[in-house]
Amino acid sequence: MNIYLYILLTFLIFCFGIIIWNYAKGLKKSPREIWILFLAKLIEYAAYGASNMAFVLYLSSDCGLGDISAGSYIGTWSMFMTLSSIFVGSIVDAIGIKKTLLIGIGALLLGRMVMPFTNHLFFVSLFSFIPIAIGNALLGPVLSVGIKKYTTGASTALGFGLFYTMMNVGFALGGYIFDKVRQILGEHTMNVIPHTNLVLSTYQFIFLVSFILTIPSLLLVLFIREGINLKEDGEYELQSTTTKHNFTFSNIANSIIESSRDTFSIMKSVFLEKSFWVYLFMLGILVFIKLVFYHFHYTFPKYGIRVLGEGAKVGNLYGIMNPVIIIFLVPLIAHFTKNVKSYSMLLVGTSISALSIFLCAVPGDFWIPLLNTSISNFLLVDWLDLKPNQQNPLLFGILSFVILFSIGEAIWSPRLLQLAAEIAPKNREGTYIALSYLPYFLAKMIAGPLSGWLLATYTPPDQSFYPLHYMVWIWIGGMSVLSPLGLVVFRGFYVRERG
């Protein structure tokens, strides 16, 4: 590794330490539970990030599905996960944070335990994909609710800022794990586990690593105390409970059954609130730019491996670069734009992110002058560890796209994340956050099959040259620009309804 890369890494680690220290000072009055949530968030997103990028590759390489079939499958699964988020999100309002976390992490453990040892699609669907979807559906809303519960009005913004930071650190670790396992074991290989008779594919091994990472999260949750009541002055009290909870699967199941009546009652009341529908309409506009994350996870891995070659470090290109940029830009942008209206931030950020996608459609010849330069040596040789015959000029277009998209994301995404919790009335946070997934659910009905169709049409697996590969990004970019355009067209409606 080049000495300059070591210097850069040291500098970034130092800056990251300062960022965490500043967050910690602002959250020093929060109970220990918030730090448990942050650490669990980091670990879970490392496991999620690594396994999520391997899903479509596993479905095709191990389970034998074609591009369109795999895209439709993962789209259906993703829709089920989003639908689960909508209906189970109110559980956190009914049974509390700790129980919800235990159920969610338990489901993830089951799914990640089964997937490494079978490629039978029926068993994988029943015992892996479905539990993982339910686990992710539960953990999403409950972590956001926990941040709000364990912060005061003055520290909520800091809580969500650190929440977003830890999420991206986890994603970066996941991208590193995804690439490292593939680098060691190969792209489409079967591997014998030493001292055992187990034979796992490269992607199954990634799922095994994700399962191992999930275990510490379960242990951390056991240290969460129930009955925490944080006051606005920063002091908190531990409300006494008359009964001692026994966290068995039977008791947890009974809690879910008993809370179902309250859950549907909560959801019914939310649907009658006008502010919720205004917010939902806004999310519907932004769903087009949010779908780019879907394509990063499920379209980009196959695209990158086919266009750039087997072993391409697609995890580094998005899974590491994007989170690193987010980690360092979010606090800076938040500090200098704290007085800027959220709607303006959303418009500027989504515009930058949407337009950046078209950089992937720029012909490779445009980037050739950058080869064999100091920039090329730093990015392609020192960081991506590519040999001269592997240095595809298209990498510069992808890198430029990821960098600019991440800058835009750092502007708009934290504002949207915080707004989802702040708009909710007291004791309705989980329901609002869960129902906010509804537009995303509807959009995935198209995104899944479209992802498979784009890959099969413009980068089919039986070719070695893809002259129309850029059309993948023309389609994705064309849909993404609908978000900033929609914000411009419907700005008056939003301002009028929100006052």
Q: What is the pLDDT of residue 455?
A: 95
CA quadruple 347, 493, 426, 91: dihedral, nearest 10: -80
The predicted model scores a pTM of: 0.84
Contact 360, 473 (CB under 8 A): yes
Residue 462 and residue 429: Cα distance in Å, rounded? 48
Task: Name the pairing type of β-strands 236-238 and 228-230.
Answer: antiparallel
Q: What is the pLDDT of residue 122?
A: 93
Convert the pLDDT of each residue in 148-163 to its tens digit.
788 877 677 778 778 8
Domain extents in the chain: 31-231+248-498
- What one-character DSSP code corresponds to residue 362? S
Rounded to a whole number of angstroms, the distance between the first and last alpha carbons of the chain is 55
Residue 143 and residue 336: Cα distance in Å, rounded? 27
Q: What amino acid occupies position 237?
A: E
Convert the pLDDT of each residue in 27-66 to its tens digit.
887 888 888 988 988 999 999 999 999 999 999 999 999 9
Which of 98, 151, 41, 139 has the alpha carbon at shortest distance from 437?
139
Q: What is the pLDDT of residue 242?
A: 45
Q: What is the pLDDT of residue 88?
A: 67
Q: What amino acid occupies position 165?
A: T
Residues of the chain with pLDDT under 50: 242-245, 247, 499
Q: What are phi and psi of 191, to 5 degrees?
A: -130, 135
Q: What is the pLDDT of residue 406?
A: 95
Q: What are phi and psi of 299, to 5 degrees?
A: -95, -45
Q: What is the pLDDT of residue 44?
A: 92
- CATH class for the domain made up of 31-231+248-498: mainly alpha
- 73: Cβ–Cβ under 8 A, 6 or more apart, which residues? 59, 65, 448
Contact 384, 118 (CB under 8 A): no
- For residue 29 the two structure tokens come to 């009055």
